[in-house]
Amino acid sequence: MEHAFGPLGADGVVHLRAGGTSLVVDTAGAGLPRVLHWGSDLGELSDSALVALRLSSIPQVVSSTVDRVVPLSLLPEQSRGWLGTPGVQGHRDGHDFSPAFVVDTPALDSLDGTVAHRLTVSGADADAGLGLTVELELTVSGLVRTRATLTNTSETTGYTLDAVLLALPVPTRAQEILDFTGRHLRERSPQRHAFTLGTHLREGRRGRTGADATLLLIAGAPGFSFETGEVWALHVAWSGNHRTLAERTPGGDGFLGGGELLLPGEGTLAPGAAYATPWVYGSWGRGLDEMAARFHGYLRSRAQHPVSPRPVVLNTWEAVYFHQDLGALTALADRAAEVGVERFVLDDGWFRHRRDDHAGLGDWYVDEVVWPDGLGPLVEHVRSAGMQFGLWVEPEMINVDSDLARKHPDWILATGNRLPPEARFQQVLDLANPAAYDHILERLDSLVREYAIDYLKWDHNRDLVEAGSTSHGRPGVHDQTLAVYRLIDELKARHPDLEIESCSSGGARADLGILERTDRIWASDCIDALERQQIQRWTGLLLPPELVGAHVGSPVSHSTGRAHTLTFRAGTALFGHLGVEWDLRRASPSDLAELAGWIALYKATRGLLHTGRVVHVDHPDPALLVHGVVAEDGSAGIYALVAIATSAWYPPGHVRLVGLDPDASYRLAPLEPATAVPSLGGHTPPPWWAVGVVLTGRVLAEVGVQAPNLLPDSLVLLAANRL
Ligand code: DGJ
């Protein structure tokens, strides 16, 4: 929280420090702020050192460019000679297309709580009739975040805003990019490539975050890994269309940038109107784990972060799909309670006309045929078994085959006198239409009130295609995104204890915009443990384990057909917010007993798993993943050794276990119930396995221990406890 100089630093050079991050910003003059350094903590710097840092950062002017140094500001401006992607793109009937903002003296606040420092700059381009406010914050955990508000200050004419993108510079040594793509059932597929000159642009045009959204755009020193190599990462906290880019110019500037992707007309600003960007977050670290820890630290520091022990969930979807009836579900609830489940979630299929996925969305009344006595008997049964009750909803959607669509066909987002192509047989309800919004709010509010619902699984199962607003005909994705945020905020205000999960055909709505107002992200509809090892590994770069739904599925995966042991399924789900999605009525008594053991382990360890530091070992054998969670105070760590393929190494050699206190001694031992080393050849594990071993954190991280030979698709757990 310290800056050792006047409020505006040394001749306008501001040095903000928190969470191991230094952010040095040049605010001198009337131009927009320039970030001179974003990365490792530079230590205490005197005023003269800061002025020297600025001086030594100014490049020479070379031939065939503008005759002065071109600044890379938070919103780069062509008016200053910047010819890369501009920060503000827009015009007033073809005019005022290149703003030149003149800013006032910035305000610098040091704060308590989640945010350590905030720099606020306001300015205007009087000729262009635009006003601008930019906020730049450094959180206690060392995250940088920034957003801007642009105002049309003209009293007479509208302004057409096409984009507002915020840019954070990265050093030249960031030569490699890691970003993500994905699809239904396989979210967060990593892709790595060189950070070359030019623009690497990721656009999300699906009207939701998208399974293929990059989650983070990461640039770093070539070969960076979980443990090593400096990395810088950017995330756009927005659940609608968005842009994320990495750009490098021949002039030597490299930056990560992002913002909302506005569809034609969405940025039209009437006289006096303003547009606010989403927050754009940046994190750096030495290795991906340190970068991720800054996100985790920030999320955990928020007032709304769920701190009650994350209850074990039973979700009915892969257990019964649409085949709901009271007898089946009370039997399932009984099995669930017996194994230790704490929250029972009734998935899709409970409302009017919803016998399959062709009809019913929008008719948010309990189906009188399937549930002749309402949900009351099930809810009472669940509660009397000691569990919370959760319900699936998809409030933004509507089937054409629904009473709601028959009554209000004009509430569907569409354009050109036609309906968009259906996706999963459904259309999108225009929640920016006040009548539709009020109706849905009333329905959700009534249901939550009537059944004292603890938890909503809030789904969103289609992309927005040709999403024209029902009130003005222009694209409606921006307004829809804000309306959904408003709706959740209103519902939460009315029901402060209600928890909400963000689900979108699995993990297609994982972003910090939706997470400001929800309590968990469903990472993927694929609960095949082998796939989940990868999906959770990458989703975890942004989200800590307690926010990521992870379920134990059936013995044979419904989405891949692979068969996995319960140890592999449960040992994978253990590293998230654990749930069960399996028809336990069909599970054998021994399976139920084993599952109860896993749930007991989850309950015993969630205190550590949901507050500790997530670590991944850069293990050289691609067949073996090594990851874990270490208590913040270094008192303990839990690790998983996960064989995702057969290995070329036989036996597998040493595995290092990182993150513990180097100077403390730990007793390391296999952790029940994942102690048995699966083997077909009658091998015995390495000698230390049976007796445990005491080693220092340094030895564990530098030398490691011999790993047991594992069959593919199997795992073992290790616990390290400080002596
Ligand atoms: C998609 C979700 O991701 C699933 O978990 C399930 O809730 C279905 N929708 C229900 O339609």
Check pocket membership of 461 for ligand 1, CB cut-off 6 A.
Answer: yes
Q: Output the pLDDT for position 429.
A: 98
8 Å CB contact between 140 and 18: yes
Dihedral class, residue 506 (left if φ above 0, else alpha if ψ from -120 to 50, else beta): left
Whose alpha carbon is nearest atom 9 of ligand 1?
505
Same domain, 216 and 273: yes
Residues 6+ apart with CB under 8 A from 647: 621, 623, 624
- For 182, the domain range is 2-301
Same domain, 157 and 272: yes
Check pocket membership of 318 for ligand 1, CB cut-off 6 A.
Answer: no
Same domain, 23 and 127: yes
**Domain membership flag for residue 218:** yes
Same domain, 319 and 290: no
CA of residue 675 to ligand 1 center, whole Å = 34
Same domain, 554 and 415: yes
CA of residue 481 to ligand 1 center, whole Å = 20
> For ligand 1, what atom is nearest to the CA of residue 525?
3
Same domain, 350 and 276: no
List the chain residues with pLDDT less than 70. Answer: 1-9
**Amino acid in the structure at residue 371:** W
Same domain, 537 and 618: no
Same domain, 643 and 670: yes
CA of residue 561 to ligand 1 center, whole Å = 18
Catalytic residue, from 367, 430, 479, 525: name it.
525
Q: Output the pLDDT for position 677.
A: 75
Same domain, 620 and 596: no
To test the ligand 1 pocket, which listed residue (348, 354, 532) has its Cβ within 8 A of the most ligand atoms? 348
- pLDDT tens digits, residue range 689-711? 999 999 999 999 999 999 999 99
The closest alpha carbon to 691, from 676, 672, 669, belongs to 669
8 Å CB contact between 666 and 695: yes
The strand pairing partners of 218, in sequence order, are: 178, 233
- Which single residue is written with the structure tokens 């619902």? 453
Same domain, 619 and 585: no
The token pair that represents 434 in the structure block? 């006040």
Q: Output the pLDDT for position 4.
A: 36
End position of a domain, from candidates 584, 605, 626 = 605
Encode 484-512: b = buried (16+ Cβ within 10 Å), e = exposed.
bbebbeebbeebeebbbbbbbbbbbbbbb
Check pocket membership of 317 for ligand 1, CB cut-off 6 A.
Answer: yes
- Known catalytic residue: 401? no
Check pocket membership of 292 for ligand 1, CB cut-off 6 A.
Answer: no
**Domain membership flag for residue 491:** yes
The closest alpha carbon to 469, from 498, 432, 440, belongs to 432
Q: Which CATH number characterizes residue 696's domain? A: 2.60.40.1180
Check pocket membership of 390 for ligand 1, CB cut-off 6 A.
Answer: no
End position of a domain, from candidates 605, 632, 658 = 605
Please count the helices (runs of H) and the strands (runs of E) in the chain.
Answer: 14, 39
- pLDDT tens digits, residue range 238-288? 999 999 999 999 988 899 999 999 999 999 999 999 999 999 999 999 999
Check pocket membership of 459 for ligand 1, CB cut-off 6 A.
Answer: yes
Q: Output the pLDDT for position 683.
A: 80
* Pairs from 368-375 (Cβ < 8 Å, separation ≥ 24): 370/324, 370/325, 371/324, 371/326, 373/326, 375/346, 375/350, 375/451
Q: Output the pLDDT for position 675.
A: 76
Dihedral class, residue 272 (left if φ above 0, else alpha if ψ from -120 to 50, else beta): left
Catalytic residue, from 253, 459, 463, 528: name it.
459
For CA atoms 605, 608, 611, 612, the dihedral sign is: negative
CA of residue 394 to ligand 1 center, whole Å = 9
**Domain membership flag for residue 548:** yes
**Domain membership flag for residue 306:** no
**Domain membership flag for residue 307:** no
Check pocket membership of 348 for ligand 1, CB cut-off 6 A.
Answer: yes
Q: Output the pLDDT for position 10.
A: 79
**Domain membership flag for residue 540:** yes
Q: Output the pLDDT for position 9.
A: 61
CA of residue 449 to ligand 1 center, whole Å = 23
Check pocket membership of 275 for ligand 1, CB cut-off 6 A.
Answer: no
The closest alpha carbon to 500, from 394, 414, 579, belongs to 394
Same domain, 543 and 447: yes
CA of residue 678 to ligand 1 center, whole Å = 33
Neighbour order of strands in the sheet with 254-260: 166-169, 254-260, 242-248, 198-204
The three-class DSSP label of residue 563 is strand
Q: Output the pLDDT for position 8.
A: 59
Q: Which CATH number characterizes residue 410's domain? A: 3.20.20.70
- As a whole number of angstroms, the distance between CA 200 and CA 705 comes to 41
- Known catalytic residue: 459? yes
8 Å CB contact between 629 and 576: no
Q: Output the pLDDT for position 700.
A: 98
CA of residue 317 to ligand 1 center, whole Å = 7
Check pocket membership of 506 for ligand 1, CB cut-off 6 A.
Answer: yes
Number of domains making up the chain: 3
Whose alpha carbon is nearest atom 2 of ligand 1?
505
- As a whole number of angstroms, the distance between CA 149 and CA 267 comes to 12
End position of a domain, from candidates 575, 605, 635 = 605
**Domain membership flag for residue 472:** yes
Same domain, 99 and 225: yes
**Domain membership flag for residue 308:** no
